[in-house]
């Protein structure tokens, strides 16, 4: 019976029996040409009207029908019917014999090995769905059929919730999915979710299979919403001590409140579940993932005329790598090519962030960039509304970096004026296109996600959290940060936002390159960053005004003083070294050789080579330390710099020579290191 009328046939599919009814419609067993199918009937008035009008429903259903996997039910047909009053959309899928996982849970308890095997199959199935850019959105035991005693499964109803108008469900008290398995972000915004929502749901299922209980106990909708958003489930290991600690930790990660905290990749999850599907495995230390580059490194940002000095340094001492920019290489790549022969890590910044500002049109070298939208005007997000335009941009940007044999590739990125900047979505889509292009072109290199913005516009930690959730949903191979701000002032909010950005991104266990930042970077390393890049004797801060500056031209080189944690001009260093306390700042590196003659110290090549030498030594020392050791080292350096500055100023009052900013560095890094990310938004 449909809509009050008896209907035995739906466009050639004979109805055998009703299989069930749920949020999205009624499902029937049907038969056609001697074959059995399952047919889901959905009232057209609960479909997303915008999707229906734009024909998106047809596109989405065709995409669903294209998915083929052993653990996913196959969609085979779709169409429309009407009972004279109500219109319906139907979707036909293969008929699967078996029982729902919900029924299986009710009648028996699974061993840890059985639970791991079954959930491994769930993850394999949802990965096939995700590979087609579809999110299930309603993964729960009643939408999973266990097909045999071997615990093989079929996932049902994937992608259908995206076609439904959410208001038609919430007005009747129904949520998008069953609360017990619903990711927190689905309560915040049903549209702004990604694959990690399904990872959460599968993690909740694993929790229930092993413990016999749902992760959170909830008696009503209001309580459910509060607990999903705020309450942490009791760890499996404390509930059932015999559970392998790695499995307990995996479930804990999968049930994190913020998507960026669910940092286990598909490969990590499946590998671990494969391991424990065998019953005789012992527990081992906790899950750890390494960065693409596990070392702490300094990569000089080669600017203007210092490339030759960097090559000379590499020939005598060696560098870990370097960062060049595309306009610079298009002008001259002689020194870059010498470094290519040394087999060091090389990055070519495509400088797409500069192309959103008209100042680039005054610079002849920039006009040689092969991926310009126009040499006569700045580019805007509207230039990339067409997918083919975006694909061409991505291809040309990557091809240029490949031409120079860059070790790490950067996706095109732009400077974000605020948290609603249209470049956000353009850059996100560019990264996804970049990964697709690398795969199709057979290029096996990591692609990093560039992030650049004005820190003053992201002082609200919730903005940082939203940004991180978006960026990490692209599953980047690493991150390249170029943040605009004054990081030698006492504006603690700026430091706080930057520190939280790094700490949140560090949850993904990918390399974080800090570009153009001063020794505040040492605190950020203690929070999880692991590569620093800065100009030599200059460019230890990045500011938006650099993008708007029509004429180039470098600033006067300054000398890096490790014990004072900063760059200083010659007048200040003269004053510093004239004091007894300041004698502690004398450098005995291979280039300074203990000299206090500032004319010698500020000689062009010495400033550069000294800077590289000291930073390389600094990073090597940090590489040998555990996280707690990195934090202690940073705090010790800051306290030492503060005390030394006080002693120098006691002997001789020096203008523009203080330590207040160092105290802010210390306080911010300490606070962020101790904070829980789930509580960051309350600041």
Binding-site residue numbers for ATP are 40
Nearest CA-CA partner of 650 in 587, 582, 589 = 582
Q: 234-271: string of b/e by CB count within 10 Å (b at 16+)?
A: ebbbeeeeebbbbbbbbbbbbbbbbbbbbbbebeebbe
Asked whether the beta carbons of 271 and 515 are under 8 A apart, the reply is: no
Residue 32's DSSP bridge partners are 35
Q: How far is CA 420 from CA 48, 118, 259, 417, 456, in A?
A: 25, 41, 20, 8, 14
- Report the binding-site residues: 40
Q: 465-484: string of b/e by CB count within 10 Å (b at 16+)?
A: bbbbbbbbbbbbbbbbbbbb
Q: Is residue 429 exposed (0-12), middle (13-18) or buried (19+ Cβ within 10 Å)?
A: middle
Q: How far is CA 41 from CA 1, 107, 653, in A?
A: 12, 29, 82
Residues in the chain: 683
Q: Is residue 456 exposed (0-12), middle (13-18) or buried (19+ Cβ within 10 Å)?
A: middle
> Strands 75-82 and 87-94, how do they pair?
antiparallel
Asked whether the beta carbons of 562 and 618 are under 8 A apart, the reply is: yes
DSSP label at residue 172:
T
Asked whether the beta carbons of 188 and 222 are under 8 A apart, the reply is: no
Residue 567's DSSP bridge partners are 560
Asked whether the beta carbons of 651 and 581 are under 8 A apart, the reply is: yes
Residue 14 three-state SS: strand
Any idea what the Cα angle at residue 529 is, between residues 528 and 531, rounded to 5°? 150
Structure tokens at 602: 């500020």
What torsion, rounded to 10 degrees, do the Cα atoms 548, 554, 555, 556 define?
180
578: which residues sit within 8 A by CB, 6+ positions away? Answer: 652
Phi, psi of 20, rounded to the nearest 5 degrees: 165, 165
Phi, psi of 232, rounded to the nearest 5 degrees: -90, 135
| Euclidean distance between CA atoms 638 and 641, whole angstroms | 5
Phi and psi based region of residue 42 (left: phi greater than 0; alpha: psi -120 to 50; beta: remaining): beta
Calculate helix-pair angle for 266-276, 112-130, nearest 10 degrees: 160
Residue 211 half-sphere exposure, CB side, CA atoms within 13 Å? 23
Q: How far is CA 358 from CA 375, 548, 555, in A?
A: 10, 7, 22
Asked whether the beta carbons of 487 and 503 are under 8 A apart, the reply is: no
Residue 5 half-sphere exposure, CB side, CA atoms within 13 Å? 12
> Strands 415-416 and 478-484, how do they pair?
unpaired
């Amino acid at each position: 019976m449909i809509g009050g009328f008896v209907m035995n046939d739906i466009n050639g599919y004979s109805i055998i029996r009703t299989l069930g009814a749920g949020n999205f419609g009624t499902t029937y067993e049907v038969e056609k040409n001697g074959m059995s199918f399952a047919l889901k009937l959905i009232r057209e008035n609960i479909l997303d009207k915008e999707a229906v009008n734009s024909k998106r429903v047809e596109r989405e259903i065709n995409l669903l029908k294209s998915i083929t996997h052993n653990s996913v039910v196959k969609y085979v047909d779709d169409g429309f019917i009407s009972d004279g009053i109500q219109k319906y959309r139907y979707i036909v899928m293969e008929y699967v014999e078996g029982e729902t996982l919900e029924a299986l849970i009710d009648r028996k308890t699974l061993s840890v090995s059985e639970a791991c095997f079954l959930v491994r199959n769930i993850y394999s199935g949802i990965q096939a769905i995700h590979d087609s850019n579809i999110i299930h959105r309603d993964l729960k035991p009643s939408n999973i059929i266990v097909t045999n005693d071997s615990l093989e499964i079929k996932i049902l109803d994937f992608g259908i919730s995206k076609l439904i108008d959410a208001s038609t469900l919430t007005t009747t008290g129904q949520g998008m999915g069953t609360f017990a398995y619903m990711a927190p972000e689905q309560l915040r915004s049903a549209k702004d979710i990604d694959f990690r929502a399904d990872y959460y749901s599968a993690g909740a299922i694993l929790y229930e299979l092993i413990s016999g209980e749902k992760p959170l106990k909830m008696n009503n909708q209001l309580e459910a919403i509060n607990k999903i958003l705020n309450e942490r489930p009791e760890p499996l290991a404390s509930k059932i001590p015999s559970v392998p600690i790695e499995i307990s930790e995996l479930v804990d990660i999968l049930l994190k409140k913020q998507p960026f905290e669910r940092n286990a990749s598909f490969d990590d999850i499946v590998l671990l579940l494969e391991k424990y599907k065998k019953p005789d495995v012992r527990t081992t230390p906790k899950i750890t993932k390494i960065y693409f580059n596990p070392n702490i490194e300094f990569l000089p940002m080669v600017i203007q005329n210092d490339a030759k000095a960097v090559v000379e340094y590499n020939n005598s001492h060696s560098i870990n790598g370097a960062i060049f920019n595309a306009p610079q290489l298009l002008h001259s790549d002689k020194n870059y090519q010498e470094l290519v022969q040394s087999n060091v890590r090389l990055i070519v910044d495509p400088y797409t962030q500069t192309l959103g500002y008209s100042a680039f049109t005054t610079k002849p070298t920039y006009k040689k960039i092969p991926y310009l939208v126009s040499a006569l005007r700045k580019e805007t997000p509207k230039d990339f509304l067409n997918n083919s335009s975006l694909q061409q941009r991505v291809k040309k940007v990557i091809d240029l970096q490949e031409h120079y044999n860059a070790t790490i590739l950067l996706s095109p990125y732009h400077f974000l004026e605020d948290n609603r900047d249209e470049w956000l979505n353009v850059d996100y889509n560019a990264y996804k296109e970049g990964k697709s292009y690398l795969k199709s072109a057979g290029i096996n290199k990591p692609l990093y996600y560039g992030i650049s913005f004005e820190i003053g516009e992201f002082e609200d930690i919730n903005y940082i959290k939203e940004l991180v959730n978006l960026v990490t949903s692209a599953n980047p191979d690493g991150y390249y940060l170029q943040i605009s701000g004054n990081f030698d002032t006492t504006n603690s909010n700026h430091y706080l936002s930057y520190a939280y950005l790094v700490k949140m991104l560090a949850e993904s266990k990918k390399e974080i390159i800090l570009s153009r930042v001063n020794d505040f970077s040492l605190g950020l390393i203690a929070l999880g960053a692991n590569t620093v890049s800065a100009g030599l004797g200059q460019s230890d801060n990045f500011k938006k005004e650099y993008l708007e500056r029509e004429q180039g031209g470098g600033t006067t080189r300054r000398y890096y003083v490790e014990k004072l944690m900063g760059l200083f001009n010659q007048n200040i260093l003269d004053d510093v070294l004239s004091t007894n306390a300041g004698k502690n700042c004398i450098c005995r590196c291979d280039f300074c050789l203990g000299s206090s003659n500032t004319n010698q110290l500020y000689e062009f090549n010495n400033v550069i080579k000294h800077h590289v030498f000291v930073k390389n030594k600094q990073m090597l020392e940090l590489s040998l330390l555990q996280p707690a050791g990195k934090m202690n080292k940073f705090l010790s350096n800051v306290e030492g710099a503060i005390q030394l500055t006080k002693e120098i100023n006691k002997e001789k009052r020096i203008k523009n020579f203080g330590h207040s900013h160092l105290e802010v560095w210390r306080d911010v890094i300490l606070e962020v290191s101790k904070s829980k990310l789930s509580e960051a938004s309350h600041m």
